Every structure is written in structure tokens, then in C-alpha cells.
Amino acid sequence: MPISMQLPDYLVDRDPNRCITCKVCVNQCANDVHHWDKDVDSVIAEEEKCVNCHRCVIYCPTHALKIRRNPTEYKENHYWNSSTIRGIDRQAEGGGVLLTGMGTDKPIPIYWDRLFLNASQVTNPSIDPLREPMEIRTYLGSKPDNVIIKDGKLIKELPPQLVLDAPIMFGALSFGAISLSAVKSLAKAATDCGVMWNTGEGGLHRDVYEYGKNCIVQVASGRFGVDAEYLNAGSAIEIKIGQGAKPGIGGHLPGEKVGEEVSKTRMIPVGSDAISPAPHHDIYSIEDLRQLIYALKEATRYTKPVSVKVSAVHNVAAIASGIVRAGADIVAIDGVRGGTGAAPLRTRDSVGIPAELALAAVDSRLRQEGIRNQASLVIAGGIRNSSDIVKAIALGADACYIGTAALITMGCRMCQTCYTGKCNWGICTQDPKLVKRLNPEIGAQRLTNLIHAWSHEIKELLGGMGINALESLRGNRLMLRGVGLSETEYRILGILPAGE
Amino acid sequence: MLREGEIRIPSGCAISGIVNKQGVRFSGRDVIKSIALMHDRSNGLGGGFAAYGIYPEYAEHYAFHMYYDDITIKDYTEEFLSSRFNIAESHEIPTKKVASIKNSPIVWRYFVKPKSEFIDEDCGCDEFVMKIVMMINAKFDGAFVASSGKNMGAFKGVGYPEEIGEFFRLDEYKGYIWTSHGRFPTNTPGWWGGAHPFTLLDWSIVHNGEISSYGANKRYLEMFGYQLSLQTDTEAITYAFDLLVRKHGLDIETACSVLAPPFWRNMERMEPAKKEMYTALRAVYGNLLLNGPFSIILGTSKGIVALNDRIKLRPLVAATKGDNLYVSSEESAIREICPSPDNVWTPKGGEPVIGMLEKEETRDAYQYATA
Amino acid sequence: MKYVVIGNSAAGIGTIEGIRQVDPEGSIMLISDEAYHTYSRPLISYYLAGKVKSEKMYYREANFYEKMNVTLRLGLKVEAILPEEKTISLSTGEKVEYEKLMLATGGKPIIPEMPGLQLKGVFSFLKWDDVKDIEANLKKDDKVVIIGAGLIGLKAAEAIAGLEAQVTVVELANRVLSAILDEEAAGIVQETIEDKGVEFHLNNTVKEIKGSNDKVSGVQLQDGTQLECDAVIIAIGVSPNKDLGSEAGLTVNRGIVVDDYLRTNYTDIYAAGDVSEGYDILYKQNRVLPILPNAYRQGSTAGRNMAGKDERYQGGFAMNAISFFGLPMITAGIIKPDSTEFTEMIESGVAKKNYRKIVTRGNKLVGFIALNKVDRAGILTGLMEKETDINPFKDKLLDKDFGYAHLPKEYRHEQLLGVTK
Amino acid sequence: MKRVYAREEVCAGCKLCEVYCATAHSEYPSSILKAFQRQETRPVARILVEVDQPLTFALQCRHCEEADCTQGCITGAMTKDPETGIVTNDESRCVGCWTCVLVCPYGAIKRDESGHKVASKCDLCSNNDTNPICVQKCPNNALIFAEISKGGD
């Protein structure tokens, strides 16, 4: 066999003074990095298999392990850098499309970090959320332009709405891509926190039907797991057109991940590849989308809002406008940093635009057209923390989806090898011996903690701005100032530079 | 220095208002006295008044109070006005020399009716007047419409409010509603148009506070065609009332519950129909919620409404004496002109104080000497 | 007396503890011909080897009888039982009335008839006094012949070899521990013991003990071999100490016959332990099972029944855990079947002295031998006791990691997640 | 009484319970490193993780109501505390005969041959109140310390 040019990405540092040969690392590494060598009674590592997922590091009871980036240097070259060379090596030896997982790790400008929030000083008071009510409840759905009231009574009731106790939802993560344990964690946490979780295109497993009230059921191009019961089981339906991590391409769940439970839930045979086509083959145009939106509304007797999720692409504003006019109640925009269980590396890193710019453009466009009320706007793709959310809402979002942050909450260490199905944290795998590593109670508790923590932070930030209701921040771009952006970026974001 | 319309300028304020619910008209002396007591709440960079019932002889005409920077723009604007309106009367607004009032613009008054060719089903007289006012304020550099309602007017400028009252000789006017405003801007180029009240048709708003939701309110109102050329809270509040009451047909009280809605947790305790209504109002008009500290007095030809923010971050006191309703930033400012009110109270945050006329006719208060 | 218990070993103590679980008050008298606080008979070899000191010989703490409120009569014999009168008579001439009587008289050594038994230097190996005797007479480098390579004989051999005496074991059977081991396992054990200098004469027995000056000087074996020795220890086995029972008219077979509730044919008289014939769930008949766990369980069950409960004794089977010179072994049930209805599975690694054997009958586990690797053997014992259907995991039984993970989910959950026993 | 129950559906099979148990019952109960490096013989865990992937679960003494080990014990070292229900082995009296290993149907008693041979078994960390170390340290809450009443389960 010709020699491989690929160096291990990481080195395993095992402190022999601390290793007690308990073999916890051996039994925990699904990548088979650690082995106990009984001849020398010590644990050794096959470093080329290490993906730096930290399972062994965190589980090692004596902290004997460190994972280091392989310090071997390539000849310095800014252009032909080591990751470029390694990519070519992988393809030279494997001959395939480079696959990866999670969102892009490229240094794309992070607009969130260039945006700064306002705070009250002297001329109006900041509000202390510990003393005063601070409201972050959010209604998602189409709003009429006006409310008609006669004799103190509402004449026409509101179209169906999703009520969120915080403007945060768990983004689409399908059962199949992630484990049932992870699904249960998300579902339970969403229910406990009064927010929503999203089935992705994985269907709704029987065990989580009880969390339907807080569930958005997705209809994607593969139509996996979709039937009338499914559509009616959630509180909203989302048509997935695109995904930020891989705009323009479909999904592919390999047959080995389609076990008994995935098969039942997705309604496909055990072991068959679950292939979501790149487009919906019944949607080649906006009027087709309208038909599907209304077909879904009919199927649920107009009791549930219908969301349409698209990747943030170049003319996203016009696309969003079309979606609203096609009858969507919610438009979800997934930016270029959106995550995935598996995507071609080049697509992930090069296709789509940042969520911040897409959001600002879409919100502005819908307002210009006077149709912003007709649909709520949900932003996704790289929301990392509560201040990202607050900034997103100030830019014009009604709520945010979090995916990667939720996965990290459940234990994901961003090793980006989701597509191997060997997730050591039991999140992105169907291997039963790995799936049980994620205790849904712990997962749900951690997610609940996160939502609560972020809710508190959002309230603090709102209070600092002298705002006690989230509505007053929505689209309130005066609360933002930018630093270090170009004129064009300021224009698109609709904000002023700091100091002005 | 940038002026209102080019930049947002935070300010603190004093407000005071009086309505006689029987429509009895009385002199502007009282309201001047009341606002003057709160001298320290202003800093001499803005004061103003709105008065209703002051032009009974032109009650069916739109009364335009215009401020001009110079004759050129006055001529230009008048030419434009003449092209759109039939002008029944125009004259300079009478003023008096006051030592501290400097750099006053040319102040002119017109009683007009739109020319019939501009009016149709889609665009009634009010709508037309509103458009014209917005156009002048946005595009006519050096001209500003201070008020445009019927049988009412706004008198405002740079100075302490009592000086502005004296300047405009308001003791010589009689109205059944008077509202007033003393301003404490943190910076100002001293532009007369930027002073309060802000008016639109017969809406007028005096306001103390700084709306932290301004950006959200503004962008929402813009969707409905309002141009917020002044970038002031007062302007936004005025338009919000206009949208909710005039365009969407809500009553004033309901409109108030949009601007200062009940907390969600309080809605949970309402009976279902009421809860549904408030939920719908908040879900639909959430962007109109006025956040941050404010107390406002809305004047209309039919009465006044005083409203605080939901957690009462700015002062507002109300009192009644006979048919008179008084609202003010401070109780002392009420007692200054009404030493022994029947009733004095501090309205709760978000709870409007409404004083509507009980009859349509108005009359002069010959018997009303100030108390 | 409400309760009278004859015998101060595991079955007797079990009886007392059983009674007290149900009846904290009723008067109890304990009678034993040994003048000791209850001690552990299996520990006598440890005592002799010096591994267990006197103070650790006791089976229960010093205040046991006090705590149990028991009237103690030690060092005297029961002469007779008068079932009709519900009375016993003691060697002191006293008579004691009882409401319920327990016969836990245990076993006595089997001493074959042969010349020389009366010589000084002939010992049995059952009671504490026996090893105290040996201890008092044995000197370094003495030659000792042990008759019998069963559990007692080999424990004696181990202890005495440890005292730097030279030990020779004579056994009639073709292998050591023939009751609990098959040939292969026995071979491993024998080798281990031989490594420590002990000699064996199998398929042989002592015909005569020779002496001079009333003292043992040697033995002559059946095959004619003459062995010089300073002491002879007779460790052929024990037989039920049933005479008291049979003389009183109790039904007696090999041992005293009891029913499922451990009652003899007189319903007020119970028997338990080595003296009785309890139910053997493998042989599905009553058998004498002279092992300690069995004695205790029978005793405590009988005790509760004596105090008014109505508890069926579930039965037992032969099982042993023992080790010689550091080689542990656990065996249970039928280990050397003699008919085709049984199946054997064996895994052996003689080099490491590992040997495991499983014996099944139909879908039931009926016996096993575990040599050296004895860990978790109790799981197998449990499967035998519960008569569990082993077919679903039969092929895993010999795996070195065999455990509950291999048992059916329902069984596992019932056992591990339910309230235990 | 409160017992430790394993939840196999969330047991990661990491065996950290064994490490912590062994440490807690070693000569250096507060230091894993010392327990495993300074003690002459490797410390023995009194809990055992059974593995037949994907199935894993920890198992230790069930502290039976009618404990075979106490009944079978030849020395009287193995006793069940009538107050707490905890079955413990008095190691000073234990002679390492392994009768308890023979009779324990759970295979929950280990042989500890580090000192004089003794049977080593779970003592619930000598309490019936706070969580034993295995429960405390289980990284996935796969062990619970709880009272399950008869017929409950």
C-alpha cells in the first residue's frame, strides 16, 4: 500500500505520572484511538484516528490526557496553507467529495461582533429586571395590519400563532442525523421552557409525540415521516427549502444510520439511504410553493402557522418577499454559518451569505413592501449567545433558531465529524452504545439551563436599554451601532457607526 | 449642529394640561401659570402650548401655524399652499417682544380648505392635509408646519414655556383645552420647529420622557406611510394615535392599551374574551408599545388623554375640580391654579386619564376668572 | 421452655435467629455438649494453621445469647427425648419441657473399624477440640497420615503442611475431592497440593494403624505399603448425629427425615442441618446436605416455623467454596453426571489452573465447577436455585465475563431493579 | 431501604464508578492518584460494570432482605445491619473462603487479595442517606440511590 501523506491532526498527550490505566479512555473512544497494551500494561494511542472530541479528556478521572494539535509544520505559505494541503491529500488518497460536519469554521466576518448595543444613561432610566417585569414573550405568525374591535370585543381572531416564552427556538435537527436521546433532550427542554423545537426532516418519533405542542414539524424535499397525523401533531409546520450549511443541495442519510427506529419514524425501509432531493420536485417556482403552503394549511384546517425556511442566498430579500406573498406565516432564514450533520466542505464554506446581512436585508425589504406584519421572521445560522439574539432582534428578527449552540449544550465539542456516525457524545449517532451516552434528562436540563440563562441575559440587556418588552426592540436598529464596517455594510444593516 | 430630524436628541420635560368637559373656553393664563411653576424642569431650550377652541370663527378651516426661516421660503411655501388650498385668511401670528426670546422665525397663520380637485374617496381632506404637512416638513427646507388642525393651534418655540406663552400672547386666546410643555433637551440647536407640542391635524402631544422603543415604533409607523421627519418621540406618539384611532378605528382607551399594554402575566388573569382582545392587540401592535419613561398628554378637539409608561418612570398627577380635569408632571403645578381640587390622584403606570367633552358646543367662560 | 434447641452450630444459631425474627419474647434454651460459645466449625483448619486466632473463631459476637435472650446449657448432653411428654432429659438428670424442639445435632466423624484406633496420635478433624488436640501433640517435621482426601481431609492437609509437618493423604477414590470435582479438576488440585510437599495415595486406604508404646508409629495401606508416621487423622467424612432422634422414635433414614417445613414426624420436633435430610432441588428428593449455608437456612426457616410462621423450605443442593494453597474453587450441584440426560460444557486452561465446567439437564443448569476463576460463580448458583431456563444464553455460560448482561432483559430487570429477595 | 439502581438505558459503560469506588475504599480514599499509585496492590472496586455492548450497567450488592451471603458466611463476618439494612463484611473476621461468592446470586462480591484475602463488597459507602460515591460520580446519572417499595418498580 502506498504510504499515506496525511499526518495525524492531533497528538494525544498522556501523562504517565497520572495515567492509572483505568481504561476509561479505551472504553469511551468510539474512534478506537486508545488501546490497552497488556504486554506493557499501559494505554497507547493511535493518533491518526483522533478527532479531538474531548470525550477521553473529560472522562479521564486523573486528567492525564491532553489533545494537542499536531505541531508538525508545513513550509510556511499563506496561500497554500496546511488545511489546503491536507484537503488535497485527503482527496488524492480517497478520491471523493470532502465531507464535513457542523457550520463553517472559516474566518467569515462576524457582524454580530461588530454591532454594539445601546444602554440608558441619565436621560432615561435603565430598568432592573430583578425589580421590574421584563417581558420577552414572543408571538410568531402572520399578523393582520389592524385589529378590529367592536363594543369592546375582538371581531376577528388572530391567525394561528406560536407563543414563545423566549425568542429562542431549537433549530431543525432531524432524528437520524441526531440520536433519539438528543431529540428527546431538545423536545423536553423546549416544552419545559415554553419554546419550540423542530423535527427537521426526520419525522416525529413515537416517544416524542407528547412534546408535539412545542414542536415545529418539518416538511422537506424527501417528505420523510410526513402524514396527516404528523402534520397535526406539531404546533406549526415548516417547509424546508434550504439549509445554511448547504444551500442548493439536498440531504443524504446513509442507510447504516437507518435502523429500526429511524426507519419507522421516517417511514422508509430499514437500511435504505434517506435521500432528500436538492429541490422539492413539486416546487420549481414560487406559485408551487404557494400550493404546498395551502395544501399544508388545508391539511391542518388553518390551525397552524406555516413556516418556510430558506438558506441566506444572494437575493434572499426578494425570495423572502415572495415567500410572504405566497402565504407563509413565518419566514426562517438560515445564514452561511448554519450547521449540518454532513455537507460537502466546499459547499459549506463557500455558498450562501452571512445571516446578519440577510436578516437586515429581508426585514428592510418586507417593511418597504409593507408586508412585514404578514409573516414573522426567524433567523438562524450561527447564533452563539444571548447578545447575538438581542442584536438579531434589533435588526428585525422575531426570534432565533439555535442549532449548534444547542448541540454544544448537549456536549458537542465541535469536532466536525458528525458524518462518521461515531459521535462520542451520543448526539450525532445512531449507534446504540453511543446513543445512551446522552442522558435525555441531563440533556434537557442543560438546554433548559441555557435557555433560562440566555433569557436572563436578554432581560438584562433589554433593561439596560430601558426596554421592558421585547416588542420594543424588534427592528429597533437605533439600539445598534457598528464599528469597522463599510458604508455599504452600514447601509444594508441599516445602522449608524458608533459615535454617530 | 444637527437639529431634530437629523438626529435624536434626548430631553427631560414638564407637562401640564387642562380641559373643561363642558366645553367652556378660558384664557391661556392658567396653563402658563401652571407650567411656569415647573420652571426648573425646563432649561430654556423649548416650550410650547396647544390650545383647542381658539378659532371658533374659522372652525371649519384647517388652521396652519407656519414657521419660516426667511421670506424666500415663505413666498415659496405660500405659493405652494395656494396651489393646493383655498386660503380664507392669512396673517402673521401676533407676538409680543420678550427680552429672552431671540431668533424667532417668521410666524404666520392660515385658515384653509383643500381645493376640491385634490379630494376623492381615497384621499379625504384630513388625509390630504396630512400628506401636505408631511411633505412640507420633510422637504421644504426652512419652512415648518407647527400645527394644522381645525379650531386649534400650537404655539411653541425656543425659550422657557412661560416666555413662549407671553411671546404668543396666549392670555388673549380662549380655549376649552390647554396643554403645555417645558423642555430640557440635552443639546439643541434651538430650532423652533423642534419644540413641543407636536401636532398632526387636530392631534397634539406634549410629552415628558424618552422612548427607548423609538426605533421600533418609527419603523413600524413608516410601514403605514408616516414619515418621521423630526425623529422625536412626540412625533412618533402622535402618529401612533393617528394610526390607531383615526385610521384603524380604535377608541382612545384601546389605543392607550396598545401604547402601554397590560403585562402578559396580568393578561393571564383576564376573562377569556378580554384576554383574547388584549393578546391580539399586543401581538399585532407590539411594535407600537411605547417603552421607556414617558408621560404624555394627548390633545384632540374632543378632549384630552394623559398616559404614563407601564412602570411609571415619569411623573404624572391628575386632579378634578368641577368640570375641569387637570393633569401635570407635578401636583404643585395643579394646585398653583387650582388650590383646592375635588380630587387629586397619581394614575398608575399604563392607566390612561381621559377627559372628554361631554357636549359638542363650546362657550366662553366669561364667568371664569382664574381661581 | 417454649423453645429448646439442641446444637450450637450453624443450624442451631439459625434456629435461634429465626425464632427471634418472629417471637422476640418466647423463652429459648440452647443445649450443647461442647462447652464453647458458638464457633465456626469450618474455621478449625484455619485455627490449626494459625490463620485464625481463638478470639476470631466465634460464629457470633460475645453477647449473642444475651441479646437473643437465650438460656445456655453448655457442656452437657441430652440423654433422651420424650416426644409424648414434650420433655427432654439431660445428662445432669434434669428434665426440661418444651413446646417446640429443634434437633440440630449435626454430624459425627465416620470412623471405619480398623486396628490401632485407640492409639495416641489418632485424631478426627471435626471439632475445635480435635484441632486443639492435634496442635498440642504435633511437632515440626512430624509425619502425618490423613485418611480421606475430601474437603475435611485436604483442609487438614493444608493446615498441617503449613505447620511444616510431612503430610501423606490416603484416599479410597481415584481422585481428590471426588464429591465435588471431576477427574480433570481434581488432578489440578492434587498437583497444586503436591507442589507443597503433600503426598497422595489414591485408590487406597489405611488397613491398620500401627503403634508402639500406645503411640502411633505408622500405617499399613490396603496395597501393602507401609508408611511411618507420628499421627493419623481420620477425615473420611461425617454422618448425621441422629441417634437421639431415632431413639425417640423419629423417622430416620440416612438422616432425620423432615417435611417441607422442617418438621419431623412429631410436629413439635424439628430438625435442621447436617443431621437432617432436607429437600434437594436437583435430585428432587430429601438428602443430607452437610454444608454450612444449608444448615443455617434450614435452621432459620425452622426457627420461624417453630415461632408460628408457615414457611416452606425451598430446598438446597450441594455447593462448596473452598481453596487449597491459594487455589480457589467453587462447585455446586451435579458435577459428574452419570447419565445421558445431562450435557457438559467445559473450558479448561490447565496451565493457568483454570477450569470451568457447566452441567445442564434439559434447559436447566444443574451443576458447575469453577477452578481458580471463581468470580461471580454465585450467578450460576442463583440460576440453579431459580431453575431458570438457560437456553437463551447457554453459549455464554462459560464466557469469562458472563453476567447479568447476558441474561434476558426481563430476568435482569426483575433481579436488579426489583426489590431484592 | 435505599439502594443503588442502575439505569442501563443511560449507562455509558465508562466504568468511572469502578475507579471512584476503588479509590473510596482504598488506603487513600480522597486521591485517585495515590490510591492507584501508592497502594501496594491495585485497589478493588466494589461495583462492577457489566458490558455486552450496547448493553452496559453497573452492578453491586443488592443488600438483600434475606441475604444468602450472611446466611452462608462461615465466620459470621457478613452481617446485615438491622437498622440500616446495609450488608457489610467485617474484614477482620473474614477468612476469604468465598462461600459468599458462591451464594451471592448477583455475583456482587469480589475477592480482594491485596491484603489478607477478604470478600469485598459494596457497603453503600457506609450510609443509607447521602449518595454513595458511585452515584455521586456517575457522569450520566445512570445510577440512582433510591427506595423502591415492594410491588413498586
Q: How far is CA A152 from CA A239, A359, B104, B253, B276, in A?
A: 38, 37, 47, 10, 11
The cell numbers describing A6, all together, are 496525511
The band of C156, judged by pLDDT with boundaries at 50, 70 and 90, is: very high
Contact of B149 with B186, CB cutoff 8 Å: no
The band of C186, judged by pLDDT with boundaries at 50, 70 and 90, is: very high
Nearest-angstrom CA–CA distance, A216 and C407: 41
The cell numbers describing C21, all together, are 425474627
Percent of chain C with pLDDT over 70: 99
Q: What is the pLDDT of residue B10?
A: 65
| Distance to chain A for D1, nearest Cα, Å | 25
Give per-residue burial for C385-417: e unless 16+ CB within 10 Å, then b.
beebebeebbeebeeeebbbbbbeeebbeebbb
Superfamily of domain A138-497: Aldolase class I (3.20.20.70)
Percent of chain A with pLDDT over 90: 95
For residue A15, is pLDDT > 70? yes
Architecture, CATH, for domain C122-236: 3-Layer(bba) Sandwich (3.50)
Q: What is the pLDDT of residue C167?
A: 96
Nearest-angstrom CA–CA distance, A211 and A194: 11
pLDDT digit string, tens, across residues C309-338: 999 998 999 999 999 999 999 999 999 998
Contact of A180 with A207, CB cutoff 8 Å: yes
| Distance to chain A for D131, nearest Cα, Å | 18
CB-based contact A22 D141, cutoff 8 Å = no
pLDDT digit string, tens, across residues B91-138: 999 999 998 888 899 999 999 999 999 998 878 899 999 999 989 988
Give per-residue burial for A79-112: e unless 16+ CB within 10 Å, then b.
eeebeeebeeebeeeeeeebbbbbbbeeebeebb
Nearest-angstrom CA–CA distance, B198 and B200: 7
Nearest-angstrom CA–CA distance, B27 and B36: 15
Question: Which residues make beta-bridge pairs with A10?
Answer: A69
pLDDT digit string, tens, across residues B289-336: 999 899 999 999 999 999 999 999 999 999 999 999 999 999 999 999
CA C287 to chain CA mean position, Å = 13
The cell numbers describing C265, all together, are 414426624
Q: What is the pLDDT of residue D151?
A: 46
Nearest-angstrom CA–CA distance, C180 and C334: 8
Q: What is the pLDDT of residue C415?
A: 86
Question: Which residues make beta-bridge pairs with B110?
Answer: B64, B90
Give CATH for domain C328-417: 3.30.390.30
CB-based contact C405 D52, cutoff 8 Å = yes
The cell numbers describing A269, all together, are 425501509
Using CB atoms, pick whichever of D20, D56, D141 lies closest to residue A442: D141
Residue of C nearest to D101 (CA): C378
Using CB atoms, pick whichever of C40, C46, C377 lies closest to residue D101: C377
| Interface probe with D: pick from A24, A184, A429, A436, most Cβ of D within 10 Å | A436
Nearest-angstrom CA–CA distance, C9 and C4: 14
pLDDT digit string, tens, across residues C195-230: 999 999 999 999 999 999 999 999 999 999 999 999
Identity (one letter) of the amino acid at B236?
A
Residue of C nearest to D92 (CA): C56
Q: Is the whole-model pTM more than 0.80?
A: yes
Domain ranges of chain C: 3-108+240-306, 122-236, 328-417
Q: Helix B71-84 to helix B125-139 angle, to the nearest 10 degrees?
A: 160
Contact of C404 with C416, CB cutoff 8 Å: yes
Length of chain B: 371
For residue C20, is pLDDT > 90? yes
Closest CA to A174 of A297, A309, A291: A309
For residue C264, is pLDDT > 80? yes
CB-based contact D19 A442, cutoff 8 Å = no
CA B139 to chain CA mean position, Å = 22
Domain ranges of chain A: 10-96, 138-497
Task: Identify each DSSP E strand in A94-184 by its residue range.
Answer: 99-100, 115-117, 138-140, 149-150, 153-154, 162-164, 168-172
Nearest-angstrom CA–CA distance, A379 and A168: 10
Does the fold of domain C122-236 match that of domain C3-108+240-306? yes
The band of B194, judged by pLDDT with boundaries at 50, 70 and 90, is: confident
Determine the structural domain holding residue D26 and report its residue range. 1-60+126-153
CB-based contact D36 A441, cutoff 8 Å = no
Phi first, then psi: give them for residue A385, nearest 5 degrees: -165, 180
Contact of C279 with C244, CB cutoff 8 Å: no
Question: Which residues make beta-bridge pairs with D87?
Answer: D80
Q: How far is CA A329 from CA A184, A198, A203, A375, C200, in A?
A: 27, 16, 21, 4, 94
Task: Give the β-pairing of B324-328 and B11-20.
Answer: antiparallel
Peptide bond between residue D54 and the one before it cis (omega within 30 degrees of 0): yes
Q: What is the pLDDT of residue B365?
A: 57
Please give the ipTM for the structure prediction: 0.88
| Distance to chain D for C36, nearest Cα, Å | 15
Contact of A434 with A424, CB cutoff 8 Å: yes
Question: Which residues make beta-bridge pairs with B320?
Answer: B325, B343
Nearest-angstrom CA–CA distance, D153 and C420: 11
Give CATH for domain A10-96: 3.30.70.20
pLDDT digit string, tens, across residues A272-300: 999 999 999 999 999 999 999 999 999 99
CB-based contact A146 B247, cutoff 8 Å = yes
For residue B370, is pLDDT > 60? no
Q: Name every residue whose Cβ is closer than 8 Å to that of residue A229 and which is 6 or more positions away in sequence.
A: none
Peptide bond between residue A16 and the one before it cis (omega within 30 degrees of 0): no
Does D140 share its domain with D97? Answer: no
The band of B11, judged by pLDDT with boundaries at 50, 70 and 90, is: low
Contact of B371 with B339, CB cutoff 8 Å: yes
| Distance to chain B for A214, nearest Cα, Å | 19
Average of per-residue pLDDT values in chain D: 92
Q: What is the DSSP letter of C410?
A: H
Residue of B nearest to A472 (CA): B213
Identity (one letter) of the amino acid at C313?
Y
pLDDT digit string, tens, across residues A46-76: 999 999 999 999 999 999 999 999 999 999 9
| Distance to chain C for D83, nearest Cα, Å | 14
How much is the average pLDDT of A100-105? 95
Q: What is the pLDDT of residue C353?
A: 86
CA D45 to chain CA mean position, Å = 7
Q: What is the pLDDT of residue C130?
A: 96
Whether B256 is a known active-site residue: answer no
Does D69 share its domain with D107? Answer: yes
Q: What is the pLDDT of residue B122?
A: 78
- Please report, to the nearest 10 degrees, the dihedral formed by the alpha carbons of residues A251, A256, A260, A262 taken in order: -20
CB-based contact D76 C40, cutoff 8 Å = yes
Q: For residue D52, which residues of chain A lie inside 8 Å, CB to CB? A: none
Nearest-angstrom CA–CA distance, A341 and B296: 54
The band of A124, judged by pLDDT with boundaries at 50, 70 and 90, is: confident
For residue B366, is pLDDT > 60? no
The cell numbers describing C220, all together, are 499399613
Q: For residue D56, which residues of chain C lie inside 8 Å, CB to CB? A: 405
User: CB-based contact (8 Å) between D107 and chain C?
Assistant: yes
Q: Quick check: do C and A touch, 3+ CB pairs under 8 A? A: no
Nearest-angstrom CA–CA distance, D69 and D86: 12
CA A203 to chain CA mean position, Å = 17
For residue D11, is pLDDT > 90? yes
Q: Name every residue whose Cβ is closer than 8 Å to that of residue C145 and which is 6 or more positions away in sequence.
A: C167, C168, C169, C170, C206, C219, C227, C229, C231, C232, C233
Question: For position D24, which CATH number holds?
Answer: 3.30.70
For residue B4, is pLDDT > 90? no
Residue of A nearest to D53 (CA): A433
Length of chain A: 500
Q: Under the phi-then-psi rule, with left for phi > 0, alpha for psi from -120 to 50, and beta for the rest, what region is A474?
A: beta
Instruction: Report how many domains make up chain D.
Output: 2
CB-based contact B10 A124, cutoff 8 Å = yes
Does D70 share its domain with D56? Answer: no
Q: What is the pLDDT of residue B9?
A: 67
For residue C403, is pLDDT > 60? yes
Average of per-residue pLDDT values in chain A: 96
The band of C390, judged by pLDDT with boundaries at 50, 70 and 90, is: very high
The cell numbers describing A466, all together, are 430601558
The cell numbers describing C280, all together, are 434437594
The band of D152, judged by pLDDT with boundaries at 50, 70 and 90, is: very low
Nearest-angstrom CA–CA distance, D110 and D93: 16
How much is the average pLDDT of A160-165? 98
Q: What is the pLDDT of residue A213?
A: 97
Using CB atoms, pick whichever of C296, C321, C421 lies closest to residue D65: C421
Contact of C185 with C162, CB cutoff 8 Å: no
CB-based contact D19 A28, cutoff 8 Å = no
User: What sections of C163-249 are H helices per DSSP?
Assistant: 183-194, 243-247
pLDDT digit string, tens, across residues B329-340: 999 999 999 999
Average of per-residue pLDDT values in chain C: 94
For residue B237, is pLDDT > 80? yes
Q: Quick check: do A and D touch, 3+ CB pairs under 8 A? A: yes
Percent of chain A with pLDDT over 70: 100
Closest CA to A173 of A475, A380, A389, A31: A380
Give CATH for domain C3-108+240-306: 3.50.50.60
Containing B306, the helix (H) or strand (E) segment is strand B303-308
Closest CA to A9 of A416, A365, A292, A323: A416
The cell numbers describing D94, all together, are 473474614
Question: For position D92, which CATH number holds?
Answer: 3.30.70.20
Q: What is the DSSP letter of A76?
A: P
Nearest-angstrom CA–CA distance, B224 and B244: 11
Q: How far is CA D8 from CA A250, A433, B263, D54, D55, in A?
A: 37, 11, 46, 10, 7
Residue found by looking up cell 433637551 in the block: B185
CATH ID of B11-359, from 3.40.5.50, 1.20.1250.20, 3.60.20.10, 3.40.50.2300: 3.60.20.10
Nearest-angstrom CA–CA distance, B111 and B127: 17
Does the CA dihedral C176-C179-C183-C189 come out positive or negative? negative
The cell numbers describing A459, all together, are 432581560
- Please report, to the nearest 10 degrees, the dihedral formed by the alpha carbons of residues D128, D131, D132, D138 taken in order: 150
The band of B187, judged by pLDDT with boundaries at 50, 70 and 90, is: low
For residue A220, is pLDDT > 80? yes
Touching D: which chains, 3+ CB pairs < 8 A?
Answer: A, C
Q: Name every residue whose Cβ is closer than 8 Å to that of residue C139 and which is 6 or more positions away in sequence.
A: C165, C230
Nearest-angstrom CA–CA distance, B78 and B71: 10
